[in-house]
Amino acid sequence: MMKRNNIFLLILLAIGVSSCKTPQATQVNSRTRLQLPTQYNGDTLTAKTTPTSWKMFFTDPQLTALIDSALANNQDLKITLQQIAVAKSGMIAAKGAMLPSLSVGAEVGVSKAGRYTSEGAGNASTEMTPGKLIPDPLMNYHPGFAFDWELDLFGKLKSSKKAAVERYLATLEGQNAVRASLISQVASNYYTLLALDNKLTLIRKYIDLQRQAEKIAEIQKEADSDTELAVEKFKAELAKARSQEFALKQEITECENALNLLLGRYPTPIQRDAKQLLNEDVKTIVTGLPSNLLSHRPDIRQAEHELAAAHWDVETARKAFLPSVNISATLGLEAFNPTYLTRMPKSLAYSVVGGLTAPLINRKAIEANFQQADAAQLQALYEYDKTLLTAYSEVCTLLSKNKNLAAYYALKEEEVKTLEHSVEVSRQLYMNGRATYLDVLEAERDALDAQMELLETRQQQLSCVVDLYRSLGE
């Protein structure tokens, strides 16, 4: 008896020695994480925050209808919803691991000991009741309950649960990021489509002008006021303009199909009003201090939850070095004949076992898991810092772009007006023989190029607004 006690004490001592020291994880806190500055490019902005809803940001009814359809049918968004369901199941499983398990079952077995063994010889000579030996083979019927519980004395299961919760929250923010990206893609494609429509209208007007110019050149050639070269030049310019028309038609088809893909449907004509492009109000973006990005941008919130999850993963891996305490118990009925199961309390069977286990031989594997979790935590930290840097740089760039595009658009409008007037002047001079056909063509080309650039600039302005919506968070 004394020898058994000594062995038990040695085992407890080994457990205590093996778990008395756990490795230290890399410290990740507010000091080690990257901090955002309080200014954008040196200018402190004291306004509140951006609009909190995309419906406050985009007011075109046709665009809002497209966005609603995309949010309901987009495949990427549906995939993200399933990822959330998977993360939620993981969180529920981690919570359930902290609770005891209770199961019910029934076992039926048979055993036969060899006749020339101690058990077989004993059974052969033992009577259950006077004149009735123990059955051979021996059946066993055992219905009952089983109870098992790992006591979370050192918080290992709690850390695992917290990691699962943070990952679930990260997937929610991931959904918000996908949602904001989807809205911005729909809006950007919509504005591109409007710009292409306006370019197509513009090139068709230009085609009509070239046809009229060709007719005038033909008349003047017949009146010996011009040469065949002028006619050929106008014909070439007309062919070039018509080829641009077909190129624009293809771009419109591709843009429509890309937009329909975002809406989760087969190619369908997109309802839109091309005039809305120039009528759309380019909003003045209201921004808050950079610290407000943390409460708006879903990708930053997602990175923050991923970092927190990585921290709890490290804690879970570190606490794997500590002992585990388990309690197991069974309670049921047991007999070699089913008719004896009701004979209480003789058929009653139970057991209670408490266990304390700690790793000894496999510590290297546990250390490797810990080092892996610690490295993953540092990776999550760098990902978080990168996300902050990207967010700040992106907003600074877009704010500058929004401001410069506004000035560029105003000057481009002035250029278009001047060139349109020069086209009228060149035509009058050509009709009066004071200018050549090259002067007219050059004036018309310059006006067309300027008008195209004006449309592209308005598209860039609206795309910049869309990007700012996405960058500042919803």
**pLDDT at residue 217 greater than cutoff 90:** no
Rounded CA-CA distance 465/280 in Å is 11
Look up residue 221 and give its two tokens. 């050639």
- What is the DSSP track for 174-235? HHHHHHHHHHHHHHHHHHHHHHHHHHHHHHHHHHHHHHHHHHHHHHHHHTTSS-HHHHHHHH
Identity of the highest mean pLDDT range in 25-39, 55-69, 326-340: 55-69
Rounded CA-CA distance 339/44 in Å is 87
Burial of 308: CB neighbours in 10 Å, binned 0-12, 13-18, 19+: buried
Q: Which domains does the chain have, with CATH numbers?
A: 25-98+154-322+365-472 (1.20.1600.10), 102-113+133-151+324-357 (2.20.200.10)
Look up residue 150 and give its two tokens. 């790992």
- Per the model's pLDDT, the better-predicted residue between 53 and 196 turns out to be 196
Split at pLDDT 50, 70, 90, the class of 51 is: very low
Q: Is the peptide bond before 345 cis (omega within 30 degrees of 0)?
A: yes
pTM of the model: 0.78
Rounded CA-CA distance 162/307 in Å is 12
Q: What pLDDT, in 10s, does the model give residues 260-303?
A: 999 999 999 999 999 989 887 776 555 555 666 666 789 999 99
Q: What pLDDT, in 10s, does the model give residues 380-407?
A: 999 999 998 888 888 888 888 999 999 9
